[in-house]
Amino acid sequence: MRRVALKLEYDGRDFVGWQRQDVGTSVQGVLEQAARHLTLGAPVTCIAAGRTDSGVHAEGQVAHLDLPQKHTREAIRNALNFHTRPHAVAVLDVADVPDDWSARFSALGRCYRYTINTRPARLVLDHGRAWHVARLLDVTAMQHAARHLLGRHDFTSFRASSCQAASPVRTLDRLAVTQHNETITVIAEARSFLHHQVRNMVGTLKLVGDGKLPADAVRDILAATDRKAAGPTAPSDGLVFTRVVYEPDPFVAS
């Protein structure tokens, strides 16, 4: 057997989320079923860098699995893309990695992009790909608020009650809020995130943008270490898992 890393794109609306569940189609389940065509039917386990929720998209999710030696990387990519049809997931790239390499535990950073659209008209081409907030938001205030979240903090106030992480402390390396015409983009980067952390941060920044919360209140919300202190969870539609950082990057060598 040899371990391979997969770079994945998927449309989150097609799935109950990354993780295999009792009911519904998961990205993990679709990939594991497809991979059995490469293992003569033997069960395969596929581990991802991040377990995205239902509705959350990926442009650069990374997962690993163990396969027999005999296939080329191109053959693996093509076979998985064939056998995952018609589900909205694609294997963009395949890389050979060491036997002890883990898409999850070897990851040094994770990057997400959240998109808010403030135009009056409902979304058509970006339907399901952005949070439609049909009014102007104060982006300068949102940028100010975002700065309070940067760095190492106890993010309990932005953590889902279902979060299974041992510690609520995370180091947020980047939280950039930018605006281009009617589109507001939030880029979030950290070694790892708590469950719903990005969507809860965006939900709170949106309250600031709406003028319902002063930008500096975000400091107090962090200090409260209480989920009820922060804003609601932003919808999954706007969130894309864009990139996972590894050193070395297995896909550059490939």
Contact residues: its own copies, CB under 8 A: 9-11, 57, 59, 74, 77-78, 81, 85, 88-93, 119-125, 127
Q: How far is the CB of 239 from its own copies (least distance, A)?
A: 13
Alpha helices in the chain (DSSP H): 27-35, 73-83, 139-149, 197-209, 217-224, 250-253
Q: Which residues contact 100 (CB under 8 A, 6 or more apart)?
A: none
Comparing CB distances to its own copies, the nearer of 164 and 181 is 181
Cα 250 to Cα 64, 85, 96, 185, 202: the distances in Å are 11, 26, 7, 28, 31
> Based on CB atoms, which residue is closest to its own copies, 180 or 228?
180
d(CA 185, CA 179): 6
Q: How far apart are CA 168 and CA 41, in angstroms?
A: 40
> Least distance to its own copies from the beta carbon of 47, Å?
20
Q: Which among 117, 152, 123, 153 has a CA at the least distance from the CA of 135?
A: 117
Task: For the CB of residue 121, give the shortest distance to its own copies in the complex, in Å.
Answer: 4
For its own copies, the closer of residues 79 and 175 by Cβ is: 79
Pick the closer one to its own copies by CB: 25 or 81.
Answer: 81
> To 10 degrees, the CA torsion angle through 239, 245, 249, 251?
-10
Beta bridge partners of 184: 116, 179
Active-site residue set: 53
